Copies of this chain bind each other. A is one copy, B any other.
């Protein structure tokens, strides 16, 4: 099984769920298309990590409600403590930034202004998710709560995107300096 598979198992420890809902729940942390999730769930079922039962619906396609098995839980618990791979973070902006000197300050400014806005939107998005988290209890979830993972990840994304937004502004200030 792959990393995405373990991500799905992690969500299923919090309760049975359809493939569609798993896709939505994965979105903030590890975006994957349904075309990747549905076949993976089927494969995971073949290998005994999950089982599903049909929930008939009228006027909508039937749902497949997946549940994690003991085998699945064991596999997840064995995988979790292993030191994670460090993955290459690939972002087109990196490649464009590398060659920014080629396109002149105006086009460069457009690129970074645009990016700054993208990061601003993402920060708003993650802030909203954090606010939802705080709706119930005002206290941050304890490390033994199932919500702890989402909580610390939201904080992580907030920080990463905030830094990148500031980085865009810093680059813009360098570009402006030259214009003077």
Residues on A facing B (Cβ under 8 Å): 3-4, 6-7, 9-11, 13, 29-31, 76-77, 80-81, 83-103, 105, 107-108, 110-111, 114-115, 118, 140, 142-146, 148-150, 152-153, 155-156, 159-160, 163-164, 166-167, 170-171, 174-175, 178
Contact = CB atoms under 8 A, between A and B. Distances in A.
Nearest to A110: B81
A88 B91 CA distance: 8
Contacts of A9: 99
Nearest to A111: B81
Contacts of A114: 83
A13 to B, nearest CB: 6
